[in-house]
Structure 1
């Protein structure tokens, strides 16, 4: 059977890698590189992800794939420190003593936050699907904690959609980040970069006779004489990782409408660290980015020969004008960095970076087959209620199994 796969992100590559064992696979990717949100830049003699990445201790399918690709000895664990930038002041919030000294909340408020963190892993997320995150926090923790801590985070990530986001997403987010020790979160990374997973999957697909078409956006997909035609090429079966509404625009078929948002992420190579050794900084103050992720406060600077940081922003619709310039200027001003201290910067923009997990999102999750086309990706059940590398890998395996079962 000849299978056409639309999209060369992690989900599509895992599906192609699996299906190529027994079938003829041809993959279509609109970008000149593979990996989607897990793609990387090649800077001088090292690789760095376009969008910041790390993994968690419960990512079982990711670990299984890493083993299969012969990369297990490169998986390492580091502590991820956190901070909060408020009123032009950077507050470290990693150790218990730092949290206790934080002036934004009272001791009672901090105790409530600790209670929520402990409770998160045991919470039934399905029961929270229809409850707005805003409502949940106000009812369980009160208005002060919401306005001082959660509202700025929700605003920076979801903007005007923040009041629509479900408590299922928020509590899932807290639960997955609750693997903490005295020195911070317990987070994983591949020594050398996650591009090694993408490269390993690509080599696997090609070694099994699969075909990968880069810089080949799918402009037409139609049914003809019992087969499908993708850009005029005939295949027996189609699997798509595109947002369902985008697939609908290409085919003219009615597809589910999934709420999505875009991401704009600037990566900077710098002379020095300006984030006081902190890995992840949430920005409470208004600005063109909602978080600063200092990669080399997580992974040793010596591997790169310079400091690397990400400025993360999300948007709905089109990316704001001159966002890259505004990000860079704001970062220099706010963190006391001279322009001459920046070695390089790159801006990655993806208008379909991921779903917005609004209330009732679970009812929007589409079936794995629609109009005879198999669909899976960030919008799938495996990525609910928070997208991740783990979820995309599981979705890729799941859709491959669906196709194989249908064939047999």
Structure 2
């Protein structure tokens, strides 16, 4: 059987690697590189992801993949410290004492917030699908905690869509980040970079006889008797990992109206640390980015020879004008960094970075097969209510298993 895969992100690569064992796989990727949001830059002697990444202690299928690819021994665990930038002040909120000293919430409010975090892992997320995060937090913790703590985070992540975001997404995000001790979150990283997963999957697919087409956007997907054609290439089955709006425009077929947002992520190589040793800083003050992720406050700077920082921004529709320059100017001014201290900067933009998890999102999730096309990606059930590498691996695994089971049931 000949299987065409649209998109060379993690889900497409995982599915292709499984199916290439016994089938002919052809993968189409519009960019000149594989990996999607997991792709990386090669800077001098090292690799660094285009979009910040880490994994979590419960990512079991990702860990199985690492073992299969011979990368398990490169997985390491580090502590991720957190901060909050508010009122032109950078507050570290990593240790219990730092949280207690934070002036923007009272002690009782902080206690209610801590209790929510403790309960998050046992919360029935399905029951929260139709409730907005705003409504849930105000009802359970009060309007002040929402306006002082959660609303700025939701605004930086979802902008004008923040009031529509499901409580299931928010509580899931709190739960996944509740694996922490007094020194910070317990987070995983692959020594040498996550590009090793992408490279190993590509190598495995090619060794099994598969084909990978780079810089090959799919411009034509046509249903033919007994199969499909992708850019005039005949195939028996099609797996699509691209966004559902893109797939709908390509095929003219109706797919669920899942809202998406884009991500713009600037990566900087700089002379010195400007975030006081903090890995992840959320921005409450108005700025052209919602978070500052200081990668070398998570992974040792010595591996890179310079400090690495991400400036993360999300948008709906088109990228805001001059966003890259506005990010640079704001960052230098706000954190006291001279332009001469910036070694290099690169901007990565993905207009389909992920769905907006609005209320009622669960009802929009498509089945594995729709209109004869097999589906896996950011929109899949495995990436709800929070997208992750684990979710993408699961989505790739499951769509491949679904196809194989169909073949077994109907040889």
TM range (shorter): over 0.9
For residue 80 of structure 2, what is the aligned residue in structure 1?
80
2:330 is matched with which residue?
Answer: 330
How far apart are the structure 2 equivalents of 1:308 and 1:254? 43
- Aligned residue for 1:404, secondary structure, equals helix
What aligned pairs does 1:310-325 form with structure 2 within 5 A after superposition?
310-325=310-325
CA–CA separation in structure 2 for the residues paired with 1:214 and 1:406: 29
- Find the counterpart in structure 1 of residue 98 from structure 2: 98
Look up the match of 1:190: 190
- Give the aligned partner of residue 14 of structure 2: 14
Q: Secondary structure at the match of 1:314?
A: strand
Using the TM superposition, give the Cα deviation of residue 406 of structure 1 relative to its aligned residue in structure 2, in angstroms: 1.6
Helix, strand or coil: the match of 1:246? helix
For the residue of structure 1 that corresponds to 2:310, the secondary structure is: strand
In structure 2, distance between residues paired with 1:17 and 1:180:
34
1:48 is aligned to: 48
C-alpha distance in 2 between matches for 1:170 and 1:305: 36
Aligned to 2:297: 297
Question: Structure 1 unaligned runs (5+)?
Answer: none
Q: Could you tell which deviates more after superposition, 244-253 or 364-373?
A: 244-253
Q: Match for residue 276 of structure 2?
A: 276
Bigger mean CA deviation after superposition, 241-250 or 201-210: 241-250
Partner Cα separation in structure 2 for residue 62 and residue 254 of structure 1? 32
CA displacement 1:307-332 (0-9 Å, x = unmatched): 00000000000000000000000000
- Greater CA drift, 252-261 or 328-337: 252-261
SS of 1:64's partner is: helix
The structural deviation recorded for 1:90 is 0.2
2:219 maps to: 219
The C-alpha deviation readout for 1:292-312, integer Å capped at 9, x for no partner, is 000000000000000000000
Task: State the distance in 2 between where 1:66 and 1:299 align.
Answer: 19
Shift of 1:225: 2.8
In 2, Cα distance between equivalents of 1:308 and 1:197? 21
How far did 1:227 drift? 2.0
C-alpha distance in structure 2 between counterparts of 1:227 and 1:180, whole Å: 49
**TM-score, normalised by the number of residues in structure 1:** 1.00
The 2-side partners of 1:55 and 1:254 are apart by 34
Distance in 1, Cα, partners of 2:144 & 2:108: 11
Paired positions, count: 408
In the TM superposition, residue 255 of structure 1 has moved relative to its aligned partner by 1.5
Partner of 1:366: 366
Q: Distance in 1 between matches of 2:101 and 2:19?
A: 54
- Residues 4-27 of structure 1 show CA distances to partners (whole Å, capped at 9, x for unaligned) of 000000000000000000100000
- Secondary structure (helix, strand or coil) at the match of 1:11 reads helix
Residues 221-266 of structure 1 show CA distances to partners (whole Å, capped at 9, x for unaligned) of 0012322000000001101001122111111111121111000000
Question: In structure 2, what is the equivalent of residue 350 of structure 1?
Answer: 350
SS of 1:325's equivalent in the other structure is helix
1:64 aligns with 64
Partner of 1:27: helix, strand, or coil?
strand
